[in-house]
Structure 1
């Protein structure tokens, strides 16, 4: 199965982000890989001390914690 590394990982050797390679079976598919041709929308991670971005269907003030 043809996959691409979405993060650094190890499969038969160290793999770098964006590296395309073959895995023996779908059960070997790691969380840091995705099948070629099946891209998922990327979620941005909040930086420490920063609140997460509002979802498109929310107004920014909707995701604030209750005071």
Structure 2
């Protein structure tokens, strides 16, 4: 699920679909659809937001270790 979610966000980031206060609404819809199609899971926007917060924590920790 994480790989699918990250792939969707990378794709939309490269298109410029990230707004000033976060992702545009259609990005969440695309993420939900991709996870449903590829993983067979039913997730909500809240679940995706929660997972993104976890990614940010991991990124912060890894950045500190590498620097």
| Greater percentage in helix | 2
| Greater percentage in strand | 1
Larger Rg: 1
TM-score (norm 2): 0.30
TM-score (norm 1): 0.30
